[in-house]
Amino acid sequence: MRDAFFEELFQIASIDRDVILLMADQGAQTMKKFEEKIPDQLINVGIAEQNMISVAAGLALCGKKVFVHAIANFTTLRCYEQIKVDLSIMNLPVTIAGVGAGFTYGSDGPTHHANQDIAAMRAIPGIRILNASDIVSLSAFPHLAYQIPKLTYIRFDKGNYIALYNKNHNFLDGMYEVVKGTDTVIISTGIMVHQAVKIANQFKSKVGVIDIYQLKPLNEEKLHKLLSSYKKIVVLEEHLSYGGLATIVADMLADYSLNKGFLRIGLPDENIFIYGDRNYMHKQIGISYPQIIKKIDKFLKDK
Amino acid sequence: MLKFPHLKDAARKIRLNCLKMQHIAYQGHLGGAFSVTEILVALYYCGIINISPKNFNDPKRDRIIFSKGHACLSLYAVLADKGFFPKAELERYGQNGTFLGGHPDHLIPGVEVSSGSLGHGLGIGAGMAIAAKLNDQKYLTYVILGDGECTEGSIWEAIAFAVVQNLNNLIAIVDNNQIAATSKTQKFVGSSLLENKWKSFGWDTLSIDGNNISEIINALKKSKMHSTSKKPLAIIANTIKGKGVFFMEGDPKWHHGVANDTQYEQARKELSK
């Protein structure tokens, strides 16, 4: 999946020589293309995320269009203050591309879990946050970041997921109703959207799915409109339930005084020391497919 | 070029302005502002570094990053004196609605980057130096650091990076006043020479008296010819914290100590010749 991102970025960078990719010792197949064809536009800063962000700021101040890349957890939290001071305060249109959303690196342990990055990055003034749910969205994001320059955090997974979108999909709206339902909607983001679709199908047409791929700024108007046909909301995410997508949606509901049934399904307020594959981890935490079905079934029957 | 006594006098006036600003606002870091004064005079008053209000939007101008942002009183005094903004603004420092904050931001005319959080400037400078090479531009990037600031790990990430990238167009000037906010810097970084540390990372270094204008001018002239080397250049400017006011010199108290009325009068007299 991540090569899709860098393939597109490579295309952009091949045409615009001001596009620079900085990375903190991260490999991706496509990096070789940069090395061979446009070596001046790729800089490996080594395992030094703080310096990577500061260097990005210096380049951006001189007119370069900078993308930086590292593991999501490290390119957000390790250099959080650099993002605040060098990028946000100076309002520089740098794009931070983090691989390893949620439990992408699950079995690598809690140091590698990106389970609070959305909460942290949401607190950066003026940032745009994009979360890819499939290869099509991820391929579109570098173009979006390039065409509408703004401080941006793009987070994504590593594995392969089936396409949810067709190639002509317009991602400017920030979200899409992937499945239309009549009663309850599952709002999700990233690869958990696939889980949401599978679950919604189980409930026939009763349950819909909205994929919010732009978490900030939230397209509140569109979400407001989409929610008008639903009575209940489930937010499903592989991120802390408090601070992530559920909080983003809850903020909007409060601001619009919308009174709807609300269920958070996400990660607990804990560091996770469970080692295994993603399904195993989800099961241990209580967010595996059958466990979610059970939770939603109960939620639908409530009241 | 201006004659030497003139520059000394410029430094004296800058310190006097810093003192007055602190007195009016009852806030501000004098110690570091005083140690870095001659460095700023050499950078902005001698015509060696290509920066002025007229060319500040010219991509070919040299860059000066004031990374030790807390010492901004002297930077403000210099920028106002050089015409980046009206001198009257100095009196509004510390007042409601002033654009001169306790640490410099990039919105102030003449300020390249926002600083105040230590340890950011050298990495940003490295980015600017790379951009110069990519764009085939000859400008040099100067980064003014404090020796206390060099405790930050991010500085050492940038130090290593600049060598690998052959940034011979990047010059670090370390205001080595050897005192941080509470004590001698030595207490938390050990006693080995700062110059040796930079050298061991692969930088070319110069060690000078950083309160001696002619030594700084010589070092800056050398920096302009530095493209013969492949390495970045660190100028270790050995200075005295609180320089210029006898009772402030070498005393950590004046990192952000505010002079009372008696101390103010005493300092004012000393700086008025």
Across the interface, whether the CB atoms of B125 and A86 are under 8 A apart is answered no
Find which of B64, B134, B141 to mutate to test the A interface (most A CBs within 10 Å of its CB).
Answer: B134
Rounded Cα distance, A237 and B142, in Å:
46
Rounded Cα distance, A149 and A259, in Å:
36
**Residue-number span of the structural domain to which A77 is assigned:** 2-156
pLDDT tens digits for B68-79? 999 999 999 999
Write the CA distances from A85 to A79, B104, B129, integer angstroms: 10, 12, 20
- Name which of A43, A53, A85 is nearest B117 (Cβ-Cβ): A85
Q: DSSP class of residue B192?
A: S
Residue A167 belongs to some domain of the structure: no
Q: Do residue A73 and residue A204 come from a single domain? A: no
Q: State the smallest CA–CA distance between residue A130 and chain B in angstroms.
A: 25
Q: Do residue A218 and residue A266 come from a single domain? A: yes
CA nearest to B163 within chain A: A45
CATH number at residue A33: 3.40.50.970
Angle, in degrees to the nearest 10, between helices B72-81 and B37-45: 30
Question: In this predicted structure, what is the pLDDT of residue B3?
Answer: 53
Angle, in degrees to the nearest 10, between helices B4-25 and B72-81: 120
Q: Do residue A145 and residue A225 come from a single domain? A: no
Q: Do residue A195 and residue A105 come from a single domain? A: no
pLDDT tens digits for A279-303? 999 999 999 999 999 999 999 998 7
The pLDDT confidence band at residue B1, using thresholds 50, 70 and 90, is very low
Across the interface, whether the CB atoms of A82 and B154 are under 8 A apart is answered yes
Across the interface, whether the CB atoms of A61 and B113 are under 8 A apart is answered yes
Are B173 and B125 contacting, i.e. CB atoms less than 8 angstroms apart?
A: no
Which of A156, A183, A216 is the last residue in one of the domains? A156
Question: In this predicted structure, what is the pLDDT of residue A280?
Answer: 98
Q: State the smallest CA–CA distance between residue B260 and chain A in angstroms.
A: 33
Instruction: Output the CA angle B145-A150-A122, nearest 5 degrees.
Output: 85
Q: Do residue A137 and residue A236 come from a single domain? A: no
pLDDT tens digits for A192-242? 999 999 999 999 899 999 999 999 999 999 999 999 999 999 999 999 999
Which of A124, A156, A188 is the last residue in one of the domains? A156
Q: Do residue A89 and residue A190 come from a single domain? A: no
Rounded Cα distance, B74 and B21, in Å:
10
Checking if the pLDDT of B6 tops 70, the result is yes
Number of folded domains that form chain A: 2
Number of H helices, E strands in chain B: 11, 5
Are B157 and B123 contacting, i.e. CB atoms less than 8 angstroms apart?
A: yes
Number of folded domains that form chain B: 1
pLDDT tens digits for A128-169? 999 999 999 999 999 999 999 999 999 999 988 999 999 999
Helices within chain A (DSSP H only): 2-15, 31-37, 49-61, 72-73, 80-82, 117-122, 135-147, 192-202, 220-227, 245-255, 278-285, 289-301
Q: Do residue A9 and residue A104 come from a single domain? A: yes
Q: Do residue A151 and residue A181 come from a single domain? A: no
Are B172 and B233 contacting, i.e. CB atoms less than 8 angstroms apart?
A: yes
Q: Do residue A58 and residue A112 come from a single domain? A: yes
Task: Enter the ipTM.
Answer: 0.96
**Residue-number span of the structural domain to which B72 is assigned:** 4-271
Q: Do residue A135 and residue A194 come from a single domain? A: no
Across the interface, whether the CB atoms of B127 and A45 are under 8 A apart is answered no
pLDDT tens digits for B190-241? 878 999 999 999 999 999 999 999 999 999 999 999 999 999 999 999 999 9
Q: Do residue A17 and residue A125 come from a single domain? A: yes
CATH number at residue B68: 3.40.50.970
Which of A156, A184, A202 is the last residue in one of the domains? A156
The pLDDT confidence band at residue A30, using thresholds 50, 70 and 90, is confident
Residue A258 belongs to some domain of the structure: yes
The amino acid sitting at A134 is D
Q: Do residue A84 and residue A207 come from a single domain? A: no
Please, which residues 81-140 of chain B have a Cβ atom closer than 8 Å to chain A? 105-106, 112-114, 116-117, 119-132, 134-135
Contact residues, chain A, for B119 at CB < 8 Å: 50
